[in-house]
Each structure stands twice: as structure tokens, then as C-alpha cells.
Structure 1
Amino acid sequence: FSSFGKYISPINIVKFQQRIDETDQDKYVKKLTTKAYLLLFLHAQLQQREGLRAIADDVLSKKFQRALGLSSISPA
């Protein structure tokens, strides 16, 4: 996923997080934050994943969970 970091480096994560905080988008979120959701679907697009099952399989990787900032997530 190191090449993934190169693709997302142009995104101003600090500014993005400020906008999320200003609008309380993640007020009731427990795990899949707006930032993690954005990164997850950017990765899916870059990897040309065919559907949600393939995306879910990616998320089960502990290394990818760390890259997304997820502490833990279940297959459900």
C-alpha cells in the first residue's frame, strides 16, 4: 500500500479533517469515518475493484486497516 500513499499525498488531509469537524459529519460514527471511507473508495477505484465484496476483502487486511486508520473492523 506504499504506492497508495503516493496517490493520496496531494489530498490536504488536515483541511479535509477540518471540514469534517466543522460539519460534524462523524458525530455518530464509530469506525468507518469519512476520511477512512474516502481512502477506502479511492483505493477501490485505483485497484479497479469489481464490487463491494472485493472491497470488503481488502478491508479485512490488518495492514490496510492501519492505513485507513481503523482500529478494528468485522466482516459484518
Structure 2
Amino acid sequence: MACQAPDGALQDRIDAVLDDFYTLHDTSNDPVLDAVRVAIFVEDAFGVTLAEAEIAPAHLSDRAAVRKTLQRHLAG
């Protein structure tokens, strides 16, 4: 089942929250540690629970990947 794209207000909120996160946090040399940091932040900021398989660089390595992961959780 395909997820609907989030509405404009939700997309703006996602972008604003991610802007805050990436402004305040530098990346490390450990992509797995970075994914865990992003996961904790995303779960707290958006009230979602990521599956263990989503707490990985493939899903949380950059803004686009985080946005896509959040859209799956928040759309619908």
C-alpha cells in the first residue's frame, strides 16, 4: 500500500525540525552511531517509534532519507 505524500504544513514541520537537528549536531565518523542519534531525535520530536531495521544508515543517513522515513510514519 502506497503512502500519501504529507501535506504542505507537515512537510514544512519535518523540514524545520530537521534543520534544527542538523544545525545543532555534527556527524561523526560512525554512520551507525549517527543513525541512532537521528532515530532518538526523530522519535522524540515526532512521537513515532522506528522499527529496529529503520535505525540504520540506509534510512537515516541524510535529510532525504530521514524525510522519506518520516513520511512513511506520518502519512495517512
Q: Normalising TM by the smaller chain, what interval? A: 0.3 to 0.5
TM-score, length-normalised on structure 1? 0.42
**Which protein has the larger Cα radius of gyration, Structure 1 or Structure 2?**
1
Query: Which structure ranks higher in relative contact order (CA pairs < 8 Å, sequence separation ≥ 6)?
Result: 2
TM-score, length-normalised on structure 2? 0.42
